[in-house]
């Protein structure tokens, strides 16, 4: 349990990281950069070199969960990888994400057939570590100088002090907010809510005007698992949320159950569209961008795209008690385990590390091109962000307590899958908070994340 509690220490690290890299922002560019663009060429020519002249074969499993990941692959990885590694033969395998990725890697690990490079995640890290299947990258990236490209290298360290994954550092800036269409609010005569009760009232008004109040991905429990449960607990009692992340409490905690009950209430009040429990990521996004819904509950990784519409703004999740202040507490998406990892059993460790570095840099250059702040320094010149991004950074950076995401830092694969299932049930409005807590507690005590 002591190891798990240390997860909260990353709040301090991430806060330092945010201040250190707040000036590293780039003006928005084309959503789909040309394969021949300068950033891609820099990935190929400047950031990496073949580790040796020997022809090597490497297998890579990449995360393929959303459109951004597809853009990174098509516009940054594929155009540059052959030039960067002329002596490599690289086989890319799409891994999906979440449970799909976990099951894939568990199968490969059990059959002693791990890919050389793969996307790591807290949900399946423990079995890989226990079987010696994931490399400690600390020495390798220190020796070649890659660690010096990070604003705060300590933010890469796992709770055991070692580095297992390389990422762009953009995750640290991702947090869930409520995006909204200003013109739809104005048309309905709705003000931005500052309390949970005001949020419910605003949703009722919007619905009375024939509008869908809010939308979020609900299929497979995506929204509830990744942020909604955490937000609904946090806005009532942030300490209870921090305790849940650290395994100092469980789902019988009254503050935790109150958060679950808020999701149940919203589902019953019709805050979300009918069938939200089966609504996938893309359709949810389209409902908002086409103005079929007034609000969009989503992470700020969508901010650069949504900012292209001048009618879009955002606000933090409103408070449900005087214990919560959105200027003092916020959820952050980052985890030191999320990123490209290397198999400890690879036959080509030096080459595999170089490839992992290349992939992390490709991520960084993509997110930089969207105007998102990042922690991995690309060497590109930067400029001021757009108004909505500036508003976000100005709000987010000074927040003193950044609470690590439950989904990334506290759930093994089995518990994660169950939380998704239970979260989807809550969105139907036909499932009680008490039943949710009862089912989650059955697994919570067996959650292997806290027994690493």
CA–CA dist 385, 20 (Å, integer)? 16
pLDDT digits (tens, 9 = 90+) for 383-419: 778 899 999 999 998 999 999 899 988 888 789 899 9
pLDDT digits (tens, 9 = 90+) for 200-238: 999 999 999 999 999 999 999 999 999 999 999 999 999
For 336, residues 6+ apart whose C-beta sits below 8 A from its C-beta are 10, 155, 156, 157, 158, 163, 164, 165
Query: Does the pLDDT value for residue 16 go beyond 80?
Result: no
Mean per-residue pLDDT for 5-20? 36
Mean per-residue pLDDT for 108-126? 91
Q: Is 110 exposed, middle or buried (0-12, 13-18, 19+ CB in 10 A)?
A: exposed
Residue 5 has what pLDDT?
A: 30
Query: Does the pLDDT value for residue 46 go beyond 50?
Result: no
Query: Does the pLDDT value for residue 343 go beyond 70?
Result: yes
What whole-number percentage of the chain has pLDDT above 70? 87
For 393, residues 6+ apart whose C-beta sits below 8 A from its C-beta are 22, 25, 173, 373, 385
Q: Are 293 and 215 in contact (CB under 8 A)?
A: yes
Query: Does the pLDDT value for residue 45 go beyond 50?
Result: no
Highest mean pLDDT among 58-67, 223-232, 374-383: 223-232
- pLDDT band with cut points at 50, 70 and 90 for residue 184: very high
Residue 336 has what pLDDT?
A: 87
CA–CA dist 124, 127 (Å, integer)? 6
Residue 275 has what pLDDT?
A: 95
Least confident of 15-29, 129-143, 191-205, 384-398: 15-29
Residue 195 has what pLDDT?
A: 98
Q: Which two tokens stand for residue 72?
A: 């990174």
Q: Which of 302, 72, 65 minimizes the C-alpha distance to 173?
A: 302
Q: Are 76 and 40 in contact (CB under 8 A)?
A: yes
Residue 374 has what pLDDT?
A: 87
Virtual torsion, Cα 139, 141, 145, 148, nearest 10 deg: -110
Least confident of 37-46, 154-163, 253-262, 364-373: 37-46
Handedness of CA 364, 119, 33, 49 (dihedral sign): positive
Query: Does the pLDDT value for residue 428 go beyond 50?
Result: yes
Mean pLDDT of the chain: 87
- pLDDT band with cut points at 50, 70 and 90 for residue 53: low
Residue 451 has what pLDDT?
A: 61
Residue 136 has what pLDDT?
A: 98
Residue 13 has what pLDDT?
A: 36
Residue 364 has what pLDDT?
A: 94
CA–CA dist 193, 228 (Å, integer)? 17
Mean per-residue pLDDT for 152-172? 88
Residue 154 has what pLDDT?
A: 81
- Return the DSSP state at 24: -
Which ranges of 246-348 does DSSP label H, i.e. alpha helix? 254-269, 281-289, 303-306
Query: Does the pLDDT value for residue 171 go beyond 90?
Result: no
**All domains in the chain, ordered by first residue:** 26-172+335-383 (3.40.190.10), 175-332+394-451 (3.40.190.10)
Q: Which two tokens stand for residue 403?
A: 């609470």
Q: Bridge partners of 60?
A: 92, 117
Residue 11 has what pLDDT?
A: 36
Least confident of 26-35, 309-318, 412-421: 26-35
Reduced to 3 states, what is the DSSP secondary structure of residue 380? coil
Q: Rounded to the nearest 5 degrees, what angle is found at the Cα of 140, between the Cα atoms of 134 and 142?
A: 130
SS3 breakdown of the chain: % helix, strand, coil, rounded to 5?
50, 10, 35
- pLDDT band with cut points at 50, 70 and 90 for residue 289: very high
Query: Does the pLDDT value for residue 179 go beyond 80?
Result: yes
Q: Rounded to the nearest 5 degrees, what angle is found at the Cα of 245, between the Cα atoms of 240 and 249?
A: 50
CA–CA dist 177, 75 (Å, integer)? 28
Residue 450 has what pLDDT?
A: 67
Residue 384 has what pLDDT?
A: 79
Residue 33 has what pLDDT?
A: 39
Q: Which two tokens stand for residue 240?
A: 């209870």
Reduced to 3 states, what is the DSSP secondary structure of residue 180? strand
What values do phi and psi take at 313, rounded to 5? Answer: -140, 180
For 71, residues 6+ apart whose C-beta sits below 8 A from its C-beta are 31, 32, 366
């Amino acid at each position: 349990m002591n190891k798990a509690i240390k997860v909260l220490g990353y709040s301090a690290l991430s806060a330092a990281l945010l201040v250190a890299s707040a000036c590293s922002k780039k003006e928005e560019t084309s959503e789909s950069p040309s394969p021949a663009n300068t950033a891609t060429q820099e990935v190929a020519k400047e950031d990496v070199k073949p580790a040796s002249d020997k022809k090597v074969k490497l297998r890579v499993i990449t995360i393929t969960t959303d459109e951004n990941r597809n853009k990174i692959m098509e516009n940054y990885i594929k155009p540059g990888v052959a030039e960067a590694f002329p002596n490599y033969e690289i086989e890319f395998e799409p891994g999906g994400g979440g449970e799909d990725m976990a099951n894939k890697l568990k199968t490969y690990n059990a059959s002693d057939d791990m890919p050389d490079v793969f996307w790591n995640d807290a949900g399946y890290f423990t079995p890989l570590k226990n079987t010696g299947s994931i490399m400690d990258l600390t020495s390798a990236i220190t020796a070649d100088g890659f660690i010096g490209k990070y604003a705060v290298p300590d933010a890469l360290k796992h709770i055991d002090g070692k580095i297992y994954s390389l990422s762009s550092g953009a995750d640290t800036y991702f947090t869930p907010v409520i995006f909204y269409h200003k013109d739809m609010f104005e048309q309905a005569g709705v003000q931005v809510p500052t309390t949970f009760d005001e949020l419910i009232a605003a949703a009722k008004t919007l619905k009375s005007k024939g509008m869908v109040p809010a939308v979020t991905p609900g299929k497979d429990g995506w929204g509830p698992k990744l942020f909604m449960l955490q937000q609904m607990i946090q806005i009532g009692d942030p300490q209870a949320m921090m305790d849940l992340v650290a395994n100092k409490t469980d789902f019988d905690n009254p503050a935790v159950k109150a958060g679950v009950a808020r999701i149940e209430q919203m589902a019953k009040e019709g805050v979300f569209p009918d069938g939200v429990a089966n609504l996938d990521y893309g359709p949810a996004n389209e409902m908002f961008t086409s103005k079929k819904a007034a609000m969009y509950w989503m992470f700020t990784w969508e901010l650069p795209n949504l900012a292209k519409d001048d009618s879009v703004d955002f606000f933090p999740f409103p408070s449900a008690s005087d214990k919560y202040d959105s200027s003092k507490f916020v959820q952050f998406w980052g985890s030191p385990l999320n990123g490209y990892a290397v198999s400890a059993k690879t036959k080509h460790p030096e080459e595999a590390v170089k490839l992992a570095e290349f992939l992390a840099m490709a991520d960084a250059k993509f997110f930089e091109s969207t105007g998102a702040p990042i922690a991995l320094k690309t060497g590109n010149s930067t400029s001021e962000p757009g108004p909505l991004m500036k508003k976000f950074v100005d709000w987010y950076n000074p927040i003193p307590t950044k609470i690590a995401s439950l989904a990334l830092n506290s759930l093994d694969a089995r518990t994660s899958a169950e939380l998704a299932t239970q979260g989807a049930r809550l969105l139907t409005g036909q499932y009680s908070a008490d039943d949710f807590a009862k089912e989650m507690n059955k697994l919570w005590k067996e959650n292997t994340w806290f027994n690493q």
